[in-house]
Chain A
Amino acid sequence: MSEAIEKTTLIGKSITKPDAPDKSNGRTRYINDMVLPRMLIGKIKRSDRAHAKVLSIDTSKAAAVPGIQAIVTADDTPMVGVGVTKDNPPLKKDIVLSMRDELVAVAGETEEAVDKALALIEIEYEDLPAIFDPAEALEEGAHQMHDDKPGNLSLGYQTVHGDIKQAEKDSDHVLDEVYDVHYVTHVCMGPGCVIADFDTHGKLTMYTQTQYPYNYKMDLAPSLGMHPGDIRVIQPPVGGAFGSKLDVYPFEPIAVFLAKKTRRPVKVIFSREEEFSASPTRQPARFHIRAGVKNDGTLTFRDVDALLNNGSHTSWGATTPFVMMRTFTGHFRVPDVEFRSRAAYTNMPYAGSFRGYGNVQATYVTATVMDKLAEAVNMDPISFRLMNAQKAGEITPQNSKLEECLLGECIETVAEKTNFLEQYNAFKAEQDSPGRYKKGIGIATSFHNAGGAKIHKSDGCGTVIMLDDYARATVITGASEIGQGIDAVLTQIVAEELGIPTENITLVNNDSAIGPWDVGVHASRTTFIAGNSAKRAARKARDQILDAAAQRSNVAADDLDLRGGSVVQNDNGVPVMKIDSLLRKMHFAGEDAELVITHDYYEPPSEPEGDNHVGDISAAYSHGAYVAEVTVDTWTGVVKLNKMTAVQDVGRVVNKLGIEGQMEGGIAFGIGYGLTEEMIIEGGEIKNPNFRDYKVMTAPEAPELEFHFIENDDPDGPFGAKGIAELPTIIPAPAIANAVYNAIGIRFNNPPLTPEKVARAIVDKQAAKVAAE
């Protein structure tokens, strides 16, 4: 034991995901792959009307199908709703409000038997007038969807700062525009799935895809008439989530009703068509924005009205204005701002949370409006943004404290790396010259919480760390793994603190009966919050080990370090003892015996919103500036994204491989939002519930990507890191739209920029030009 061990760090290195090998060879047992003994298959009969009275349901023929074990309707249930405002009873009675509404559930021995039974259920309806447009739903005399929601009003938000009227008078230019942003959906590769299983005590185990296991129990229990404490949540590996599993949806209590009735485990699994039509969407919205600027380029005000199509019931989508308003009020320095939103019930699908959470929509508007305002005052897109970018120490009207604001640096860097202005001016000059292919370059920037978001009573996460006699560590965390890679990040953080190899760490995070509480995977919070909690728990274990080592050597704890599985002298790296041997000495020390088991609950230093939605809701914020380079085929309307250059404030990179993966995947979502993805909904029915007609990006379309991470340690982040998972999703669509404008001089206030839409706009523009001549 004499060879000195050099001090190295894992932070910023590339660590492969601990679960990747099993995922690479088919060994991973996803929830969809699970089969429990005596398990039944459950399926759901849904409404095929957008809005109707249910006159009768006849299940007698279905019940006669061999192998059918249970059929449940609303009459068999407590009729207590799930969802954000509890307005969504798992099985509907008397009235259906959308095509996805659940009416009957069947459990049987085989999928074939259940399919046969579903087809034999007879339902009589009487159609009611359906409303698909939120503005119509708010009109006086519109058919009311929910008895306790007068005027079809679901959730509304408002935040008011300064004097808009005066600011408008002080403005030299006022932009007044309407945007319509569309329906998209998560398209998780693993279809929705749940298994409900009761034990003989009447306690329930839910095998679920949820990404918020602890509050999930609280949200699920009332719909079952159960106590949340009697529910155990097991999270087997899932095929993607992206926000879609942040609420309780009707199929989950339905599986429980079937399991209860049959006293057997019941699995409900979605078909791909159900995954499109019966999962939540991203929140669509109509924005009316008025924004002012002075001739010198100073922003004066923003006034935004948002009208949200709530759909038939309420999930997180209706709460996305919470995030939208932070961008409208706080992205760039705008002294006077107002934001109002209303969500109106209609007979359309409803939206849930979705990576980017309202900011994808809001940033499409703000980032294109910034370009339009720059043009109005004859400034280039870069100087205009730099002039209005906040600096470190500024505070937004809603009290987001921008302690580490790097917005300006992001913009400057991306402009320089892409040679932005030179390209921009060259392409602009080419707009009206002959030629089929037009090139364009566009910038967009974003602002998002990067240190959690205090929307619940706690935004915390707990960790327990146990070290065994062999210096193997078990890390029990509340943080869920949904593919994003928190398994790698936490392993890395604990290994860094304890000086043991990553492969000697086992992460446990899939059982609510074992793991300490966490609010869930959302708001780009997990690296920041769970990372801090793991780091603090590991620090306690480290201190305990170093104290024990100091007692057993003649070196003070402060002069010791943990490296390569050994306790070493801090200054020269000379090993003092092996950690595993020390742990055994501690463990078997007779009366002084101790095990190293530590725990921590980390609550970030953020505050909930008070009146007028003012509050520093996140412990950190991040900005990004992305540039899209496109080629527009003016004959076909096809927009090709050639390259995306992304500059992102990340605080500090923890896992290089992981953060790149989050960036690349997030950008893919953003590109889909901007160019190809759109749910086509007619008469409340989704017309493209498949991969053929709902176009997600495939390998040939993946653009060249270039990343520049700006690292400036966040004082509160683990090793300085910020959370960034949602950020890359937010910016690509408006960057592309701005690039298309640079190429062909046409604005699109209604993504996605599909070939049909772009080609039509080009033809219209040419026709208008001819008419004018």
Chain B
Amino acid sequence: MSQMVNIIVTVNGEKRHVSVTPGLSVLNMLRDNLDLTGAKLVCGEGECGACTVIVDGVSVNSCLMYAVELDGREVTTVEGLQSSEKLDPVQQAFVDKGAIQCGYCTPGMVMQTTHLLSKNGKPNDEEIRRGLEGNVCRCTGYTKIIEAVNQAAEG
């Protein structure tokens, strides 16, 4: 049994004490220890972006980051974006524009979009495409996702 490490991490605004093994990924910690199953395990090697969360204001592939690295840091997941019962504007834009089919990539897309818009409030088409290039969607062909990012940027 690996030795457990105790970390304190702020997840979606709430301080959490979590006991993790040194090899545990942020993704598995979120999903298995904290029941935050929004972020998805799709490839496990940082190629698809479905596990994207925001750590201290930067989007990361949570499958590639160790949970122990979170000690003292802040994580936002797709479950933490809403400040009220209403969907967050990025989430609402994905719904409105039909950018969600099977939805498995959506949490990662929403988080990456949130990150993109936090750095660049009015991205042009090229900046949106480049901003999302690490996130794979197999259903939509991206057209409606790009439209959703535009709506979120305008709103």
Q: 29 A-B Cβ contacts within 8 A?
A: A21-B91, A24-B92, A24-B106, A24-B110, A25-B88, A26-B37, A26-B38, A26-B77, A32-B40, A33-B37, A188-B102, A189-B136, A189-B137, A189-B138, A237-B103, A238-B102, A239-B40, A239-B103, A240-B139, A272-B45, A657-B97, A657-B144, A661-B98, A664-B143, A692-B47, A696-B138, A699-B132, A699-B135, A702-B141
Q: Which of B44, B78, B97, B146 contacts A271 (CB 8 A)?
A: B44
Closest to B107 in A: A26
The 10 closest A-B pairs by CB, nearest first: A26-B38, A483-B102, A23-B103, A239-B104, A668-B141, A664-B141, A691-B47, A189-B104, A24-B91, A657-B98
Q: Are A14 and B141 in contact (CB under 8 A)?
A: no
Contacts A238-B102, A702-B129 given; does A24 touch B144 at CB 8 Å: no
A-B contact count (CB 8 A): 174
CA separation between A238 and B103, bound complex, in Å? Answer: 9
Q: Is B8 an interface residue (CB 8 A)?
A: no
CA distance A430 to B62 in the complex (A): 49
Partner of B91, one of A14, A25, A658, A667: A25
Q: Once bound together, how far apart are the Cα atoms of A190 and B37, in whole Å?
A: 13
Would you list which residues of chain A between 171 and 203 have a CB under 8 Å from chain B? Answer: 186-191
B77:A239 contact, CB within 8 angstroms? no
* A20-B103, A25-B79, A26-B78 as given contacts; A665 in contact with B141, CB under 8 Å: yes
B87 within 8 A of A: yes
A24-B92, A24-B110 as given contacts; A484 in contact with B79, CB under 8 Å? no
Most chain A C-beta atoms within 10 Å of own C-beta, residue among B44, B101, B102, B110: B102
Residues facing B in A706-722 (CB within 8 A) are none
B: residues with CB less than 8 A from A are 31, 36-45, 47-48, 50, 77-79, 81-82, 87-88, 91-92, 94-98, 100-107, 110, 128-130, 132-146
The total of chain A residues at the interface (CB under 8 A) is: 53
Measured CA separation A33–B79 after assembly (Å) = 14
Residues of B within 8 A of A485 (CB): 101
- Do A24 and B87 have beta carbons less than 8 Å apart? yes
Report the minimum CB–CB distance from B24 to chain A (whole Å). Answer: 11
Within 8 A of B (CB), among A185-232: 186-191
B92, chain A: closest CB distance, angstroms: 7
Contact, CB under 8 Å: A240 / B79: no
How far does the Cβ of A590 sit from chain B's closest Cβ, in whole Å?
42
**Contact call A691/B136, Cβ cutoff below 8 A:** yes
* Separation of A187 and B50 alpha carbons in the complex (Å): 13
Q: Which residue of chain B is the closest to A242 with respect to CB atoms?
A: B138
Determine whether the beta carbon of B129 is less than 8 Å from that of A690.
no
Are B98's CB and A16's CB within 8 A?
yes
On whether the beta carbons of A665 and B45 are closer than 8 Å, the reply is no
Question: What's the Cα separation between A32 and B50 when bound, in Å?
Answer: 13
Q: How far is the CA of A657 from the CA of B97 in the complex (A)?
A: 8
Is A698 in the interface zone, CB < 8 Å from B? yes
Contacts of B134 in A (CB 8 A): 698
Tell whether A660 is near chain B: CB-to-CB under 8 Å: yes
| Residue of A whose beta carbon sits closest to that of B2 | A112
- Point out residues on A near B: beta carbons under 8 Å: 14, 16-17, 19-21, 23-30, 32-33, 186-191, 237-242, 271-272, 482-485, 657-658, 660-661, 664-668, 690-692, 696-700, 702, 705
Name 20 extra pairs, CB < 8 A, besides A23-B106, A190-B104. A23-B100, A26-B77, A26-B78, A26-B79, A30-B37, A33-B37, A190-B42, A238-B102, A240-B101, A272-B45, A483-B103, A658-B98, A660-B98, A660-B143, A664-B144, A665-B101, A665-B138, A665-B141, A697-B142, A702-B142
**Contact flag A696-B136 (CB < 8 Å), given A26-B38, A690-B43:** yes
Verify A272–B140 contact, CB threshold 8 A: no
List the A side residues contacting B138 at CB < 8 Å.
186-189, 240, 242, 665, 668, 696
Which residues on A sit within 8 Å (CB–CB) of B38?
Answer: 25-27
A189 to B79, CA, bound (A): 20
With A665-B139, A690-B47, A699-B129 known as contacts, the answer to whether A24 contacts B100 (CB < 8 A) is yes
Q: A690-B47, A699-B135 are in contact. Are A19 and B98 (CB under 8 A)?
A: no
Find the A residue at minimum CB distance from B96: A16
Please state if A483 and B43 are interface contacts (CB–CB under 8 Å). Answer: no
Residues of the A chain whose Cβ atoms lie less than 8 Å from the Cβ of B137: 189
A699 touches B145 (CB 8 A): yes
Please determine whether B142 and A272 come into contact, CB atoms closer than 8 angstroms. Answer: no
- Residues of A close to B96: CB separation below 8 A: 16
Chain A residues closer than 8 Å to B140, beta-carbon distance:
661, 664-665, 668
A191 contacts across to B, CB distance below 8 A: 41-42
Minimum CB–CB distance for A702 against chain B, Å: 4
Contact at A20–B141, with CB atoms within 8 Å? no
B-chain residues with CB within 8 Å of residue A24 when the two chains form the complex: 78, 87, 91-92, 94-95, 100, 103, 106, 110
Contact A28 B44 (CB under 8 A): no
